[in-house]
Amino acid sequence: MLLVLATFFVAQRFKHKRQILLKQKFFKQNRGQLLQQLVSPRIDIAERMIIPIDELAKATNNFDKARELGGGGHGTVYKGILSDLHVVAIKKSKITVQKEIDEFINEVAILSQINHRNVVKLIGCCLETEVPLLVYEFVSNGTLYDHLHVEGPKSLSWVTRFRIATEIASALAYLHSSVSIPIIHRDIKSSNILLNESMTSKVSDFGASRYIPMDKTGLTTMVQGTIGYLDPMYFYTGRLTEKSDVYSFGVILVELLTRKKPFSYFFLDGDGLVSHFVKLLADQMLVQILDPQVIEEGGKEVHELSILAASCIKLNAEDRPTMRQVEHTLEGLIVSKKFVQNNVEVEKISENDITMMNCSLKKERESPPECSRRYSMEEEILMSARYPR
C-alpha cells in the first residue's frame, strides 16, 4: 500500500514538474522576455499585463464552448470573468505558426502604448501556452457590421452613424499623429469596429498593424487587408502609408451612407461599391444608392459626408486628406449642424430636394450617361485576389 502511494506521489510530482517546464518552454517560445520589453520598460506594468493560464482557464470555465463570443480565421474569442470580477474578452489563436506568434507580439506591442477611448483596451496576455492568448476589455454590443447590416428597413440612426464615423476618425488620427511612432492599422473595416452598450465605437484587431518610422512616409510590405476595403494603390505597389487607412475609412463612410457590403456589392455593369458610389455622386444621382433611412434622417449633411467619403477613396493616395483633416471636418460638421445626440437639430431633406433627385433618376433612365472607368482598379483587385501574388 505504501509503495502504491509513493509511486502515485512521485508520478504527480513528475507531472507537475513537466507542466512547469512546458509553461517555461512556451513562455520562451512566445518571446516572453522580448514581449515584456515591448510592453513597457517598467517591470511593474509588464508583470501586471502577464496573466497566468490558470487564471484564464478559470475565467472561461476551461474555455467552455458556451463562453465563445465568435471567431474568425485567426482564432476564437471567449468571454471570461477574472478573479477581480473584471469581464474580459480572451482571444485564443487557432494555430501556432511563426506568423501568428509574430502578429500576437505585434498587437501586444502596439496596444500596450495606446490610450484612446475609441481603441479597444488590451488588459493583458498569457504566454504560458502553446497558443498565445490576448485579453481585452469586454465590448458587449457586437460590431458596426452587425448593427448596420441587419434585416429590415431600419438600422442605426443617422446621428449614431455620424457619431461612430467621427469616433473612428478620431482613433485613426490618434494612431497616425499622436503616438510616439505613427501606427497604420492596415485592416480597417466595419467588422473590426466594436460597439459597447452605449454604442461607443472601439477600433480593434491590430495584428496586421505596422509602425511607420518618424523619418519615413511609408514602407513596402506584403499586402494584407480585406478586399472591398483595401487601398488599390497599396494592393498594386505594396507601398503602405497612412493614406491606406484613409481609403479604408472612406469605404466605411460609403458603407454607413448606403448600407451596402463593400466586399459583395456589384452593380449591373460589374462596378463595385466604391466605383458605383463615385459615379453616382459625379452624376448627382446619389439617391439611387443611399440608404432610404439616411435620406429620411440625414438632412443636407448627407451630401457633405458623401463629398468627404469621395475625397478619402480617391485613387491617387496623395489626393486623399489625412485622418487629422478628416477628423476636423467631421467635428466642424458636428459644431455647425448641432449634432448633439440628446438634443438633435437636424434639417431634413425637403420634398423639393427629393423631387429633384427623382427627376435625376428619371433622366438617367431616359438617357444613360457615359460612366468613367476611373475606379476599374477595384474590379481588377477582386479578380486578382483569386490568384497568388
Which residue is it, cell 456589384?
266
Report the pLDDT value the prediction gives residue 132, as an integer from 0 to 100.
77
Cβ contact 125:108 at 8 Å: yes
Binding-site positions for ATP read 92
Rg (alpha carbons) of the chain, rounded to whole number? 24
Burial call 154-189: b when 16+ CB within 10 Å, e when fewer: ebbbbbbbbbbbbbbbbbbbbbbeeeeebbbbbbbb
For the record, the C-alpha cell of 200 comes out as 461607443
Binding-site positions read 92
pTM, 2 dp: 0.80
- CA 29/CA 42 separation, integer angstroms: 22
Check if 291 is active-site. no
**What are phi and psi for residue 65, nearest 5 degrees?**
-60, -30
CA-based nearest residue to 317, from 382, 208, 383, 231: 231
- CA 96/CA 265 separation, integer angstroms: 34
Cβ contact 67:78 at 8 Å: yes
Domains and CATH numbers, the chain: 27-137 (3.30.200.20), 144-384 (1.10.510.10)
- CA 314/CA 316 separation, integer angstroms: 6
Cβ contact 101:132 at 8 Å: yes
The distance between the two most distant Cα atoms of the chain, rounded to a whole number of Å, is 98
3-class secondary structure per residue, 64-91: CHHHEEEECCCEEEEEEECCCCCEEEEE
Instruction: Region of 63 please: left (phi>0), alpha (psi -120 to 50) or beta.
Output: left
Strands 193-195 and 201-203: antiparallel
- CA 204/CA 185 separation, integer angstroms: 9
Catalytic one of 54, 84, 146, 187: 187
Q: What is the pLDDT along the chain (389 residues), one digit of tens a residue?
A: 666 666 666 566 656 566 676 666 666 666 554 555 455 554 555 566 789 999 999 999 999 999 998 876 567 899 999 999 999 999 988 766 777 777 777 888 888 888 999 999 999 888 887 777 899 999 999 999 999 999 888 899 999 999 999 999 999 999 999 988 899 999 999 999 999 999 999 999 988 888 887 666 777 888 888 999 999 999 999 999 999 999 999 999 999 999 999 987 777 666 789 999 999 999 999 999 999 999 999 988 999 999 999 999 999 999 999 999 999 999 998 887 654 444 554 444 444 444 444 444 344 334 443 334 444 555 555 444 433 33
For the record, the C-alpha cell of 279 comes out as 459615379
For the record, the C-alpha cell of 266 comes out as 456589384
CA angle at 312 for the pair 309 and 316, rounded to the nearest 5°: 140
For the record, the C-alpha cell of 71 comes out as 471567431
- CA 109/CA 115 separation, integer angstroms: 13
- CA 381/CA 378 separation, integer angstroms: 5
